[in-house]
Amino acid sequence: MKARIDFERCTGHGRCYALCPEVFAEDDNGYPVLDDSPIPDDLAARVRRAADNCPESAITLLSLEESSAEKSSTEKSGAEESGAEENSSEESDG
Ligand code: SF4
């Protein structure tokens, strides 16, 4: 399992890092910090509890399969975007 935080929603209440500081760290402004590591099975229940208690519903939990599918779709869209930039620069050259 992996977790994602939607920073458009997160308002820095800090419940996530209060409930599971092993997974969610805190930055200098009180916002959570989360790395991309898989969550160890023994912390999964606490991460679920943190997600369930997030007042902004900003935490999404993904299976490792969902996470890798999300990553490959992000990489693909990034490649498409860079391709679009190449095309637009070609147009401006002409
Ligand atoms: S509990 Fe939710 S809103 Fe609060 S800091 Fe964590 S992710 Fe953000």
The CA dihedral of 39, 40, 41, 47, to the nearest 10 degrees, is -40
Higher-confidence position of 90 and 38: 38
For 14, 36, 43, 51, 74, the CA distances from 48, given in Å and listed in that order, are 15, 16, 9, 5, 25
CA-closest residue to ligand 1 atom 2: 54
**Torsion angles phi and psi, residue 86, rounded to 5:** -60, -45
Residue 20 CB less than 6 A away from ligand 1: no
Cβ atoms 44, 71 nearer than 8 A: no
What tens digit of pLDDT does each residue of 25-82 get?
999 999 999 999 999 999 999 999 999 999 999 999 998 888 888 878 877 776 666 6
- The span from the CA of 25 to the CA of 36, in Å, is 12
Residue 88 pLDDT more than 90?
Answer: no
Residue 58 CB less than 6 A away from ligand 1: yes
Domains of the chain: 2-88 (3.30.70.20)
Tokens for 69? 């599918």
Residue 10 CB less than 6 A away from ligand 1: yes
Tokens for 50? 């943190």
Residue 59 CB less than 6 A away from ligand 1: yes
Residue 47 CB less than 6 A away from ligand 1: no
Atom of ligand 1 minimally distant from the CA of 14 = 5
**Torsion angles phi and psi, residue 4, rounded to 5:** -130, 145
